[in-house]
Amino acid sequence: MGKEFLPILAKGEEYIEVEKPRNGAPTDESKLPKFQDAKENLIQQIDTTRSLIKNIPDELRVSDIILSMDLLPGYYAKSYYPTNLLRYSGVQDVGSKNTPVRIKDEKNKEHFTMVKTVFIRASDDELEYFSDYLKSSSEYKKGFISDLRRIEKFTIPNNSNIIERFPETWDFGRVEFILHPFGETEPEVIEKFFTLMKGMDVEISKVKYKSYYPGPTFFSVKCAREQLIKLLKYNPIRAAHPLEFRAMQNFSRTLSTFSLPKPSEGNIKSKIIVGMFDGGVDDSNSLLKGYVIEKDPIGSLSIDDYLEHGTAVAGTLLYGNLQKYSDKDVLPIPAVIVDSYRVLPPSDPMDIDLYEAIDVIEEIVPKRPDIKVYNLSMGPYGPIEDEVSRFTYALDSLSGEGERLFCVAVGNDGDLPDEQSRRIQAPSDTVNGLGVGAFTWGEKDNIERAPYSCIGEGREGCKIKPDIVAFGGSSKHPFHLVGMKGGRKLLSQGTSFSTPLVTSKVAELIGRCNVADPLVARALIVHSAKHPDSIHDKYLGYGAIPDSLEEILGCEENRVTILYKQRMLPTRFAKVPIPFIGNIQNSSSVEISWTIAIATKLNPNHTGDYTNHCIEDTFYPSAYRYEFQSPDKKRKVLRNLILDKEEINQLVSEGWIQSKNPKSESGNQYQTEDERRANFKWDTIAKKSKTMRWSSLESPYIVLHAMERNNPQDMEFINYAIAVTVHYKKYAGNAYEETVKQYSKLEASRISSINDIMVKVAR
């Protein structure tokens, strides 16, 4: 680090205060059907459903039946979930999903909203009790009445339309089945499913499954289309999709005529470890030797294609793109070392079943608390769907508290003809990790999405996908890689290689910055990413990562970044003051940008509400500027509590009402759930900015509101990290120095040099 390097400031959490709660949006039930009409409709549907259940063959059901209950369109927010109805009905809630629909408003204008389908599990006796309870003349609770008025449809789910998710050309292959949770009767569900498959001549030895009780059970089954159609009739099934793997994300490469550079020299290596799950490495390669530890948890015979891919990925983790090195150059000592876990090919190389790889990941990762960052440049083929795959859920579960970070390639099918097929691939839809896309250079050396790089959006909980992009190569600008044979560079392209560029940088960031952990690193990586259009989109996400670590961890004299690390309970509010220098002469504008990253537990039973937690943020540019409303409520004025004190006293004496909170830049109007989700309310990353006149900012702050859904009775702390940057544009003074003076609790982060992270080794 040079003398002029100004490290980011930490300990911002020392200034966080408890904030008074805000009122939620009022509910409007005037458009709902009358209770008596809704009750009679539900009774009729329950009785009809009970009759239909009797026609289900015994081999296609268990003692309890899965049923579905649709709410009216638009009533899919957390506050509308029929918790009270379920509590008094005697049935078991087993999950939900949201389905987009097009409706017309009062002005006959069409727009999209969601229909929430709630899945329940019930025996015939429980359904009879539910029906009798509705037919009784009991005095129902207010919450029960409201819930019932929102119910539109009660029936048995129709799984036959799941086959539409399979291409017409699909005749045979692996399928991932997702079964609803069944609690204590889960063994019966699994046993009957195996019996059903045996009766259809499915090869049982090829079947694998994993239960995530009290979550769903995932099955990997090799079957034909005719068998699939019959299996989908099994009532406990919630969803199914093809489970296909294509050789290491379409790994195409060319052995160039360029010689590889010389191996690094010296008897030291980094103590920062990156984990890698891939096809193994050629650990005898002189460029990898001493820096990559090869482990073989599967024990199958290695295959050259997979080894070549893994070797190229490992080389990228160590050295990045080798284009800048000639055969005369000696490579630098890498900033990280690599623990490589070979998970491909599986024990049966003729049947690529990623469940074996997921089993290894779930076994290895919890045992390695010393590894904070993992690279995955592999995954199943095909765009993500509404249902969460086992691969995605496994990664999210392993990082639900922000204790580690998975960097995952989004896939290389971004050049397919239709947009749905170009969508990102699992497990890059992880909501607690980073999905990494690829860019290449345009004709004017500008950043462009590499044509092959898959696009967003992601799933509910992390819609902005890819999260970020890095250089991945292209036909005109190939990525230079470590090859296995001949001492020549391998030329290729793909998100398989943009991803390790990010992974290595994240690991180095954590290893060299004393205040950085995986959650802080995720916030900083997104915060520092730059989009060529200064936006975020489904092509480049939040943009490209900076070239150097110093750009991520450094400040400038007029551009100051502050870190906050904290946790909070759901339903609570926190005030996050922004260190702002208000006593300087600055006539130009100030840009305040902030990025919030949270780690969340998941609920795969509720795919439309997959993330259990979120933190809403509201920006207040001035702590003193309030709205005052006239007694007749026809006029509003904005006044400053300090500068306009006398006028305010006069207004109050005349009956004007002061707002409860200062005027927010985000707006004080209530938002509908559609509007909130369109603004990525439940996403685990939020990146925003406001540019205002310096004179308009007075002790600015952000109010955070922590929220939880799915398990409101079992509240857990939410871990979060915030990066805030205050850019005093055109200011010639030293705002960094002034910030440190005025906010004495802040501490400059300590950034270790490369030498500090090295240890001596015997060579």
Residue 674, pLDDT > 80, answer: no
In this structure, the number of other CB atoms found within 10 A of the CB of residue 638 comes to 13
Look up residue 472 and give its amino acid.
Answer: G
Phi-psi domain of 732 (left: phi exceeds 0; alpha: psi -120 through 50; beta: other): alpha
At residue 47, the pLDDT reads: 95
Whether residue 757 is predicted with pLDDT greater than 60 in this model: the reply is yes
For residue 356, pLDDT beyond 60: yes
* CA dihedral (531, 532, 535, 539) positive or negative: negative
Distances (CA, A) of 346 to 280, 312, 349: 12, 20, 5
482: number of Cβ within 10 Å: 25
Q: Which of the residue ranges 26-30, 606-610, 665-669 would you say has the lowest mean pLDDT?
A: 665-669
- Give the 3-state secondary structure of 287-345: CCCCCEEEECCCCCCCCHHHHHHHHHHHHHHHHCCHHHCCCCCECCCCCCEEEEEECCC
Average pLDDT score over residue span 671-683 = 57
pLDDT number for residue 132: 93
CA distance 12 to 389: 37
Considering the chain, what percentage of its residues have pLDDT values greater than 90?
Answer: 77
Nearest CA-CA partner of 248 in 116, 155, 376: 376
Whether 521 shows a pLDDT value over 50: the answer reads: yes
**Least confident segment among 128-132, 477-481, 666-670, 732-736:** 666-670
Name the token pair of 356. 């074996």
Which SS3 state, helix, strand or coil, does residue 48 take?
helix
- Return the bridge partners of 221, or none: 175
Whether 2 shows a pLDDT value over 50: the answer reads: no
Question: What's the pLDDT score for residue 670?
Answer: 41
Is it true that domain 253-510 has CATH number 1.20.120.80?
A: no
| CATH among 1.10.3470, 3.30.70, 3.40.91, 1.20.1640 for 165-234 | 3.30.70
Rounded CA-CA distance 330/14 in Å is 46
The pairing of strands 337-342 and 273-278 is parallel
Q: How far apart are CA 266 and CA 155, in angstroms?
A: 70
Average pLDDT over residues 576-589: 87
Residues of the chain with CATH 3.30.70: 165-234
State whether the Cα torsion 542-546-552-557 is positive or negative.
negative
- Cβ-Cβ contacts under 8 Å for 494 (sequence gap 6 or more): 249, 250, 251, 377, 409, 412, 438, 452, 472, 473, 479
Query: Which fold, 9-21+556-623+662-748?
Result: Jelly Rolls (2.60.120)
Residue 250: pLDDT over 70: no
pLDDT greater than 80 at residue 715: no
- The two tokens of residue 22 are 């805000």
Cα–Cα distance, 627 to 633 (Å, whole number): 12
Residue 254 has pLDDT above 90, yes or no: no
Give 337's contacts (C-beta < 8 A, 6+ positions apart).
Answer: 269, 270, 271, 272, 273, 274, 291, 292, 293, 318
* pLDDT of amino acid 709: 76
pLDDT tier, 681 (very low <50, low <70, confident <90, very high otherwise)? confident
What b/e sequence results for 129-162 when a residue is b if at least 16 CB atoms lie within 10 Å of its CB, and e otherwise? ebbeebeeeeebeeebbbbbbbbbebebbebeeb
Asked if the model's pLDDT at residue 457 lies above 60, the reply is yes
Instruction: Provide the pLDDT for residue 711.
Output: 56
Q: What's the sign of the alpha-carbon dihedral 385, 389, 394, 395?
A: negative
CA gap 685, 47 in Å, rounded: 45
Rg (CA), the chain: 28
Over residues 367-386, the mean pLDDT reads 95
Residue 96 and residue 77: Cα distance in Å, rounded?
12
Number of Cβ within a 10 Å radius of residue 712: 14
Q: Which two tokens stand for residue 200?
A: 């259809």
pLDDT band at 130 (very low <50, low <70, confident <90, very high): very high
Lowest mean pLDDT among 344-348, 604-608, 675-679, 722-726: 675-679
Cβ-contact 479, 497 below 8 angstroms:
yes
- For the chain, the average pLDDT equals 91
pLDDT reading at 260 higher than 50 = yes
AA letter at 56: I
Residue scoring higher pLDDT (720 or 113)? 720
pLDDT at 28: 59
Please list the residue range(s) of the chain that carry CATH number 3.40.50.200. 253-510
pLDDT tens string 20-62: 887 665 555 667 999 999 999 999 999 999 999 999 999 999 9
Q: What local confidence, expressed as pLDDT, does residue 710 receive?
A: 58
Per-residue pLDDT, 677? 47
Residue 261 pLDDT? 95
- pLDDT tens-place string over residues 174-216: 999 999 999 999 999 999 999 999 999 999 999 999 999 989 9
Structure-token match 């780690």, residue found: 599
Which of 167-171, 537-541, 584-588, 676-680 is least confident?
A: 676-680
Answer yes or no: is pLDDT of 296 > 50.
yes
Per-residue pLDDT tens digits for 312-347? 999 999 999 999 999 999 999 999 999 999 999 998
| pLDDT at residue 66 is higher than 80 | yes
Supply the pLDDT for residue 714: 59
The whole-angstrom separation of Cα 197 and Cα 529 is 49
The band of 149, judged by pLDDT with boundaries at 50, 70 and 90, is very high
